[in-house]
């Protein structure tokens, strides 16, 4: 797996330092209030689990799933499912946690859907932000890192379902794309 990586963009130490910083910001923003972290599956599972363990305040945890079907490296049609039960949404302050904010379509649709289902507030915290790719007007309230417009994998992010378990964030070699797309 490591052999498929062209360049490491964020190593494990950089990732932990960035998460420590954003976790402090989120902690201060929510201190003294009740809120629920809503992890967007599958990509955010690694980030969300590191993030919440650095937030020493009461919180609840829920999950939602967003899948986009494109050609592997660009967003395509979006499927949202696996929503929390109504009682976990209605009147609640929710913090969506996602791996990457790219075009903005996933988080803006999820926010709209959760507000429609009665959430009192929906904010977001993303591991990576690619502002150059934004297609809809949406900004995260908190982000750990801004990255250039490059398809990245690792630390929860996948290509064709693989590489989520890499402990760092990197770009893929061309051969790795070709191998998985063609075969
Ligand atoms: P949108 O465009 O809705 O995208 O903001 C969010 C989802 O698109 C996927 N995505 C990526 N996945 N490397 C990945 O592994 C990337 O560079 C990348 N850019 C977008 C991801 O699933 C994210 O939740």
In CATH, what number is assigned to the domain containing residue 123?
3.40.50.2020
Number of domains in the chain: 1
Protein residue closest via CA to atom 14 of ligand 1: 157
The burial class, CB within 10 Å (0-12 / 13-18 / 19+), for 166 is buried
Question: Which structural domain range is residue 74 located in?
Answer: 2-178
Is 179 a residue whose pLDDT tops 80?
no
CA of 30 relative to ligand 1 center, distance in Å: 26
Residue 183: inside a domain: no
170 ligand 1 Cβ < 6 A = no
Residue 119: inside a domain: yes
Residue 157: inside a domain: yes
Q: Which two tokens stand for residue 62?
A: 């829920």
Q: Which atom of ligand 1 is nearest to the CA of 104?
A: 5
Residue 151: inside a domain: yes
Q: Best mutation site among 68, 149, 171, 177 for ligand 1, i.e. most ligand atoms within 8 A of its Cβ? A: 68
154 ligand 1 Cβ < 6 A = no
Residue 30: inside a domain: yes
Q: Which residues of 128-150 are buried (b: 16+ CB within 10 A; e: fewer)?
A: bbbeebbeeebebebbbbebeee
Protein residue closest via CA to atom 21 of ligand 1: 100
The pLDDT value given to residue 77: 81
Is 183 a residue whose pLDDT tops 50?
no
The pLDDT value given to residue 70: 63
Mean pLDDT, residues 51-63: 98
Confidence of residue 96 (pLDDT cuts 50, 70, 90): very high
Q: Which two tokens stand for residue 81?
A: 């499912």
The pLDDT value given to residue 72: 63
Mean pLDDT, residues 10-18: 98
Mean pLDDT, residues 56-65: 97
Residue 101: inside a domain: yes
Is 75 a residue whose pLDDT tops 90?
no
Residue 50: inside a domain: yes
Q: Which two tokens stand for residue 14?
A: 């950089």
Distance CA 60, CA 75 (A): 30
CA of 54 relative to ligand 1 center, distance in Å: 24
- Cα dihedral angle (87, 114, 79, 178), rounded to 10 degrees? -110
Residue 6: inside a domain: yes
CA of 33 relative to ligand 1 center, distance in Å: 30
């Amino acid at each position: 797996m490591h052999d498929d990586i062209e360049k490491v963009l964020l190593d494990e130490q950089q990732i932990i330092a960035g998460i420590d910083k954003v976790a402090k910001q989120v902690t201060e923003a929510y201190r003294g209030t009740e809120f629920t972290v809503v992890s967007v599956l599958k990509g955010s599972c690694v980030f969300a689990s590191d993030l919440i363990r650095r937030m020493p305040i009461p919180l609840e945890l829920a999950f939602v799933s967003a899948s986009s079907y494109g050609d592997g490296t660009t967003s395509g049609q979006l499927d949202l499912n696996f929503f929390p039960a109504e009682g976990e949404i209605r009147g609640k302050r929710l913090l969506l946690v996602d791996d990457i904010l790219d075009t903005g379509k996933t988080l803006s649709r999820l926010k709209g859907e959760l507000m429609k289902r009665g959430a009192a507030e929906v904010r977001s915290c993303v591991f990576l932000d690619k502002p150059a790719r934004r297609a809809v007007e949406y900004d995260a309230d908190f982000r750990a890192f801004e990255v250039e417009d490059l398809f990245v994998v690792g630390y929860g992010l996948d290509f064709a379902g693989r590489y989520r378990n890499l402990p760092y964030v990197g770009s893929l070699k061309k051969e790795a794309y070709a191998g998985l797309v063609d075969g």
